[in-house]
Structure 1
């Protein structure tokens, strides 16, 4: 039963590789803990989950990590058609108490300003293969509000150029795990140095492939390879140019923040990010800079 549920979790989350790995590891850890304490893991009694989560907290795990373990256990029960112990009030009270004791807030990828992003992109040396690729990666990642996993999985066949711009088709994504195609629209910029479409086309001309991965790794001498870039390396590129305080997820968070600052409504933002609710847009909007979004600038003094 445990082996089957593990397979169900992976199948149910297929398309979100990072989540699959995390949930699978969390579920394996829980089942091992239950075996050690001679408790069933599926269905798991509430007392088993209480003991497991409390032990994680005592071991110094971050609250976000503890929450993820609970989510993995809930998913295993859901996919097996069983009631999850995470729905019990005891678990909700326990998690609230752990959060209060730890007093930790989940660290979110910060957003950058549009001005700093423009300066960074314009400073990239595009006389090299790496420069061409990295400029295209940053501009496409930002203007398309892409997740790093989507950039990693992007294929040349997913790109459709025309006079109006570019439409990128995503066969699968984190929130679209059943293969229902989603599309993102990318538009021309009047400044060629900041244009995601022209930058991507310049990179593709160098790549000179009709199909396969859009973003590939390079050898030390800037020679092209056929190896698809990993999410880890995409993250390193973002940090290389924008600073170590940022992550690849900052491209997506910054799209939301800059769009909202420029007056875009939630519907327009969600049409690009593919978020399902406005609540997620509010969560993604980074307006915590005291000078960035402040009515004191509009007093008229």
Structure 2
């Protein structure tokens, strides 16, 4: 499961792809028997499903599959689950290291698991179990981790890749190759548009772009979280090595040399540089048939490129979006303009969180700024 599934999700699913109720269990009264109107026609269920991010659906399905496996192991009813069953399961997760990481799930993932169980019940027509006990387990777990200063108590966030970080990463990238041009364009465009990986990967050439009179580009970006389209203008950067416009044009020209003139801007490549190589799993084709790279691949490119520098941090495709905020703040850009350029809502708590974290260190630290102003006044006197 990708790292983005470690985060808490806000939605609860309506889906019929759920574990079957064991035959030797006596179910409680379904919601539909309590309320004859508590049901959805198939087309309404499809409409609800269309509003749920695919990543969320996959995460919830995995959560319910593992819950069902545990219930069978300890001889408890999967659905409708008793409140005590959910509490016991969360207590089990708190104490049980996973094979992949050798650590238990973090509190944020456990919050999501509770939401998964409740959603599965609603989807199957059952009253969701009371989860107060399970949430107290998670709250106590979060408190204990925080008091122990365990990193698992903190949300896992991507480190900001600002202009300085990007400059270091790009200096180690061979931008004469097609893959190097692609990787440079991906990182610089992510920074210029303040985009998530999920907003970069769908971009097409020329469909997502428009030429500007000053030689810049306007990108038509779908802001996935807000579910709105936004036109973002990009002027040519004075530093050619950090110019997203030049990087995109260089990639487009290189793709045209390979016969790819329309469609996905960011394509998967194999280690020999071949475009959109066919991929199979168990003898069946997988991956986008047009060769478009995945969001995970975009994150891998950012991580690999920046890790070559030796800079510490958690580098993902989201690093470019966070890095834009840091770059803009360093340049003195007003936070409202930063938010509107990057598609955040005014007074976005996520954006304010980035600003607070960035301002807590380095030149933007409030105490450092106070000290500089005081020194400046003393020098003037």
Name the TM-score class by shorter chain.
Answer: 0.7 to 0.9
User: Quick check: 1:231 aligned with 2:295?
Assistant: yes
Of 80, 94, 107, the residue aligned with 2:137 is: 94
Of 327, 336, 341, the residue aligned with 1:267 is: 336
Aligned length: 294
Partner of 1:29: 66
> Is the CA contact (8 Å cut-off) linking 2:67 and 2:78 kept in structure 1?
no
How many Å separate the matches in 1 of 2:88 and 2:94?
10
Of 209, 221, 225, the residue aligned with 1:159 is: 209
Specify the SS of the correspondent of 2:358.
Answer: coil
How many Å separate the matches in 2 of 1:79 and 1:167?
42
Partner of 1:221: 272
CA deviation profile, 1:125-158 (whole Å, cap 9, x unmatched)? 3221122111111100111121112222222222
Cα offset for 1:249? 1.8
Compute the TM-score of the two structures, normalised by the length of structure 1.
Answer: 0.81
How many Å separate the matches in 2 of 1:258 and 1:84?
45
Of 51, 70, 76, the residue aligned with 2:114 is: 70
> Is the CA contact (8 Å cut-off) linking 2:15 and 2:123 kept in structure 1?
no
Structure 2: state its 5+ residue gaps.
Answer: 1-13, 19-41, 97-103, 147-152, 277-289, 376-381
Cα offset for 1:215? 0.6
Specify the SS of the correspondent of 2:328.
Answer: helix
How many Å separate the matches in 1 of 2:369 and 2:241?
31
> Is the CA contact (8 Å cut-off) linking 1:239 and 1:247 kept in structure 2?
yes
Specify the SS of the correspondent of 1:107.
Answer: coil
Cα offset for 1:210? 4.1
Compute the TM-score of the two structures, normalised by the length of structure 2.
Answer: 0.66
> Is the CA contact (8 Å cut-off) linking 1:215 and 1:229 kept in structure 2?
yes
Partner of 1:240: 304
Cα offset for 1:45? 4.8
Cα offset for 1:224? 2.9
How many Å separate the matches in 1 of 2:332 and 2:122?
39
Partner of 2:238: 190
Structure with more of its chain in helix, by fraction: 1
Specify the SS of the correspondent of 2:218.
Answer: strand
Query: What's the C-alpha RMSD, in Å, of the aligned pairs?
Result: 3.3
Cα offset for 1:273? 3.1
How many Å separate the matches in 2 of 1:70 and 1:263?
42
Of 113, 117, 121, the residue aligned with 2:166 is: 117
> Is the CA contact (8 Å cut-off) linking 1:186 and 1:197 kept in structure 2?
yes
Cα offset for 1:204? 0.9
Partner of 1:40: 79
> Is the CA contact (8 Å cut-off) linking 2:196 and 2:321 kept in structure 1?
yes
Specify the SS of the correspondent of 2:233.
Answer: strand
CA deviation profile, 1:33-71 (whole Å, cap 9, x unmatched)? 556511524xx5543432222221122222222122123
CA deviation profile, 1:239-272 (whole Å, cap 9, x unmatched)? 2221273222211121223323433344323323
Structure 1: state its 5+ residue gaps.
Answer: none
> Is the CA contact (8 Å cut-off) linking 1:148 and 1:248 kept in structure 2?
yes
